Amino acid sequence: EPEVTQTPSHQVTQMGQEVILRCVPISNHLYFYWYRQILGQKVEFLVSFYNNEISEKSEIFDDQFSVERPDGSNFTLKIRSTKLEDSAMYFCASSPQGEVTADTQYFGPGTRLTVL
C-alpha cells in the first residue's frame, strides 16, 4: 500500500539554525499538508499546498516557515531560524483531492525536531 514517507525521522539542531524537513507524498495525490504536534498537545495544522502554491495556512505558519515542491515527488518544510518552541513532531500528509466528500488525509510517520 502506498505510504507517505518523511526524512529524517529525528533532527537535532541549534537554535537559530535553518532546518529542512522532507516528505514524499503518495504519488497520485494532489494536496499536501504539514502539521505539527508539540509533545502532549494537539495536532496543529500548519499549511496546505496545491498546484504549487499555498492554499491555506494557519497563524503558526509565519515568515519563518516556507514550503516547496522542488520536484515531482518531494515536498519540503523549511524553518529559517529555529526557536526552542519549534521543537515538535512534524507530520506531512497528502490527500487525493480536497472536496469534502473525499477529504481524507494520509499521514507520514513524522520527523521529530529537537531545537537545543
Partner 1 sequence: QKEVEQNSGPLSVPEGAIASLNCTYSDRGSQSFFWYRQYSGKSPELIMFIYSNGDKEDGRFTAQLNKASQYVSLLIRDSQPSDSATYLCAESGGYQKVTFGIGTKLQVIP
Binding site for partner 1 (CB under 8 A): 31, 33, 35, 41-45, 48, 50, 55-56, 58, 91, 95, 98-101, 103-110
Report the alpha-carbon distance of residue 84 to residue 82 in Å, rounded: 7
Looking at this protein, which amino acid is placed at residue 86?
D
Name the residue nearer to partner 1 (CB basis): 15 or 97. Answer: 97
Q: Check residue 83 and report its DSSP letter.
A: -
Cα dihedral 105→80→51→73 (10° resolution) = -70
Q: Smallest distance from the beta carbon of 16 to partner 1, in angstroms?
A: 27
Under a CB-based contact definition with an 8 Å cutoff, are residues 5 and 22 in contact? no
Q: Smallest distance from the beta carbon of 104 to partner 1, in angstroms?
A: 6
Q: Smallest distance from the beta carbon of 115 to partner 1, in angstroms?
A: 18
Q: Smallest distance from the beta carbon of 48 to partner 1, in angstroms?
A: 4
Name the residue nearer to partner 1 (CB basis): 64 or 106. Answer: 106
Cβ atoms within 10 Å of 98's Cβ, excluding its own? 14
Name the residue nearer to partner 1 (CB basis): 25 or 108. Answer: 108
Under a CB-based contact definition with an 8 Å cutoff, are residues 84 and 100 in contact? no
Name the residue nearer to partner 1 (CB basis): 45 or 69. Answer: 45
